Amino acid sequence: MTTAFVPSRRALELARRSLRPVTVSSPGPGVISLIAGDPDFPTPDPIREAMVGAVSSGFTRYAHSQGDPDLREFLASLLSRRSRRPYTSEQVLITHGASAALAVVMLAVLDPGQRVVIPEPTYSLYADLATVAGAEIAFVRHRPDLHLDLDGIAAAAARARMVVICNPCNPTGAVYSRAELEALADIAAEHDLLVLCDEAYDHIVYEGVDFTSALQIEGLAERLIYVQSFSKTYAMTGWRVGYLAAPREVVVAAAGLHRTFNGPVNSAVQRAALAAATLPDDRLEDMRREYQARRDIVVRMVAGCPGLRLRPPQGTFYALLGYRLSLPSTEVTRLALERGVAVRAGAEYGPGGEGFVRIAFSTDRSLLVEGLERLLPLLAGE
Ligand SMILES: Cc1ncc(COP(=O)(O)O)c(C=O)c1O
């Protein structure tokens, strides 16, 4: 006799509250996908070679549960240089992508019922993970220019435990200024909040835009949970490696959860990540320039469509397009699929994303142009 499967309460709660509908379908043949935040570049050669070398030279056994000591040591020195504060390797936890860093840190710091402030639209995983942790989510909509609504954040901060930001921001492409981050630090200090800052796109920032890392904000020193990924900067989405850096007590709690859920990250992949981290920035410049050229194509094509709204992305490889139809964004994505282009519904990124769709320009120029030619007339109500 079989018993009918009933998901756990936690799984049901996630399915009920998730911003992101659970779909397993990938766009069919002939559909241009502007969905995935997955760089179309190959992982740079020195990283691939380091992986092969690591496997050949015996990095085939369990790694240290907190992460390869050499990699953590290197990252700690990088973080110390950027922040001008001493970070030790004990404050770094290597994780299965930034996704696992986000997951364990949410579970490490949030108790059920505690409030987490999430400026939005933003990366949907934050709210989903906070839901799994049983936290209360206080969304604070970005200002119309897609920057932080600091008054709104201050108003939501009372009784909160943590605020989560993504800088540069997926899906808006906004890069928060130093002044914004300093004001956020003041709010965090006043309400004794932890500040989780996910900087997965910190190397994809366009000319003329100053990027300030949360690491450089003195006022965040005591309360910063810094999350980073190798996925986007080094075109390593499939390698599954990222890290977090935080005050030691947070790292100890997060490491315990990461060990419990995941165990250590693949040994050889961590050696490849070390090769990535030591790659000179000029090896990344070609990719950044290409994203910028694609960003310019998007901005130009959208400007040719009266009525569409777009704040030119300052970083990331995403653009959030505001449309004219009076339809929910999930319905617009369905209609877009019928026209042969797959995009994400703005509502996936929070209530403030309604009325928008997100495109990713991590795909080559010709597909991007053809995808936009299919999409923009629909968004303009033609
Ligand atoms: C802002 C942000 N953080 C984290 C991630 C997940 O990164 P990873 O591949 O390292 O799990 C993504 C992926 O899209 C992202 O956009």
**Does 202 have pLDDT greater than 60?**
yes
The predicted model gives 159-171 an average pLDDT of: 97
Closest C-alpha to ligand 1, atom 14? 37
Share of the chain above pLDDT 70, in %: 98
In terms of Cα–Cα distance, which of 280, 277, 267, 242 is closest to 54?
Answer: 267
Read off the pLDDT of residues 219-242 as tens digits, 9 standing for 90 and up. Answer: 999 999 999 999 999 999 999 999
The pLDDT value recorded for residue 7 is: 87
Domains of the chain with CATH codes: 9-43+282-379 (3.90.1150.10), 45-277 (3.40.640.10)
The pLDDT value recorded for residue 298 is: 98
Strand arrangement of the beta sheet that strand 242-245 belongs to = 92-95, 242-245, 224-229, 194-198, 160-166, 115-120, 136-141
Read off the pLDDT of residues 253-300 as tens digits, 9 standing for 90 and up. Answer: 999 999 999 999 999 999 999 999 999 888 899 999 999 999 999 999
Q: Tell me the sheet residues that pair with 309.
A: 322
| Counts of helices then strands in the chain (DSSP H, E) | 12, 12
**Does 1 have pLDDT greater than 60?**
no
Beta strands in the chain (DSSP E): 32-33, 92-95, 115-120, 136-141, 160-166, 194-198, 224-229, 242-245, 318-322, 341-342, 344-345, 356-360
**Does 153 have pLDDT greater than 60?**
yes
Contact 291, 86 (CB under 8 A): no
Pocket (CB within 6 angstroms of ligand 1) = 37, 97-99, 123, 166, 170, 198, 200, 229, 231, 237, 242
Q: Tell me the sheet residues that pair with 115.
A: 136, 160
Read off the pLDDT of residues 19-69 as tens digits, 9 standing for 90 and up. Answer: 776 554 567 789 999 998 999 999 999 999 999 999 999 999 999 999 999
Q: Tell me the sheet residues that pair with 225.
A: 196
In terms of Cα–Cα distance, which of 341, 79, 104 is closest to 213?
Answer: 79
Please name the amino acid found at residue 40: D
The pLDDT value recorded for residue 13 is: 87
Question: How many angstroms is it from 306 CA to the middle of ligand 1?
Answer: 33
Mean pLDDT of the chain: 95
Question: How many angstroms is it from 99 CA to the middle of ligand 1?
Answer: 6
**Alpha-carbon gap, residue 179 to 6, rounded angstroms:** 49
Share of the chain above pLDDT 90, in %: 88
Q: Evaluate the omega torsion of the peptide bond into residue 171 and state whether it is cis, within 30 degrees of 0.
A: yes
